[in-house]
Structure 1
């Protein structure tokens, strides 16, 4: 069967995808340290170690990187011309026929349904869930951040805006708990996402894994009726 080569993912989308992966990795490692200290520096009388401060610094840098990437990718989704195929995926998401065909495909009971957009319905709802979790973990992260840097800079600017949200969420201890719970939600999403990406790449033979690097994907030529 002949296949068409189609450009699906812009350079901005691909770069931010991998930068987000790096940010999540750094946030996970440093976040675990800040919660459960697993490295202790050698004892010293000199005040030069500050290992906790270094981990916190990298956690905050990766956190602001994740926020910036999320804002940029949200802009691409709604405004970028090339990313219009992502927006069209909503039509597949609300189509019962595509849902039924996609479930049959995953159960090895049929061919992959023809999609109008980039993502199938399950991928679309998974990404909506991921962005919801990133939004929550970003807001709770900013609340925790302003308590350390409320004297000036970004922390000082955000302090008065974050405190009412902190109160709505039940206080600082609850904010920290929500932050940790959502982190586990993202960590559960990641292996499922990787597995399904590999599954679709192998089963569909459309270069799904290659597309997030090169931007190009192979599509089967469906017969015209």
Structure 2
């Protein structure tokens, strides 16, 4: 059957999607090391083996990258013309009928519902939850950051803004605990996201996973808009 191609994701959205994925992997590995120190450098008499400092440096670099990506993707969602289809997904998410049809589809009990936006209701709700977790991770990460770099630069600039948030969360130890808990939330989300992305791509046969690489997905000729 002949298929048409439809542009779905802008270059900015696609690039930031994969950069965010890389950032999450690096932040997870370096975050585990900062917490548990699962490897040690080779012994030396010279004070040059600051492995913890190196892992912390990369954690901070990719942490600020994640913050920048989150701000940029939030801007795209609300203001980018190409991302209008993402905003339309909110209407699908508010429809109980589409929710029921989507759940039946995942349970092999019905056809995929017609969507006006890019994401089905479960996807949209999951992405909202993802952004909430990332927001908490970014804020708690900045609170932890300013305690190491309050002597100057952005750490000094943010110090007075982060301290009230730290107090509201119950102190620095609780901030660190919240940071870890929400990291596990991300780790639970990722395999579910990958499984459902592959599920939709295979079952829907519309190149759903191709779209996040090329920007285009396939549509059957009889697909109605």
For 1:124 and 1:223, the matched residues in 2 are separated by 22
User: Residue in 2 aligned with 1:51?
Assistant: 51
User: Residue in 2 aligned with 1:115?
Assistant: 115
C-alpha deviation, 1:2, in angstroms = 4.5
- Paired residue total: 225
Query: How big is each residue's C-alpha offset from its partner over 1:94-146, in whole Å with a ceiling of 9 and x where there is no partner?
Result: 01111111011111111111100000000000000000000000000000000
1:8-47 to structure 2, matched below 5 A, reads: 8-47=8-47
> Per the alignment, in what secondary structure is the counterpart of residue 40 of structure 1?
coil
User: Residue in 1 aligned with 2:78?
Assistant: 78
User: Residue in 2 aligned with 1:138?
Assistant: 138
User: Residue in 1 aligned with 2:92?
Assistant: 92
For 1:60 and 1:168, the matched residues in 2 are separated by 23
For 1:36 and 1:28, the matched residues in 2 are separated by 12
Q: Per the alignment, do residues 202 and 223 of structure 1 end up closer, same or farther by CA in structure 2, a change over 3 Å counting?
A: closer
Structure 2: which 5+ residue stretches go unaligned?
none
C-alpha deviation, 1:5, in angstroms = 1.1
For 1:102 and 1:58, the matched residues in 2 are separated by 40
Structure 1: which 5+ residue stretches go unaligned?
none
> Per the alignment, in what secondary structure is the counterpart of residue 57 of structure 1?
helix
What CA RMSD, in Å, does the superposition of the two structures yield over aligned residues?
1.3
Q: Per the alignment, do residues 98 and 212 of structure 1 end up closer, same or farther by CA in structure 2, a change over 3 Å counting?
A: same
- TM-score relative to the length of structure 1: 0.97
- TM-score relative to the length of structure 2: 0.97
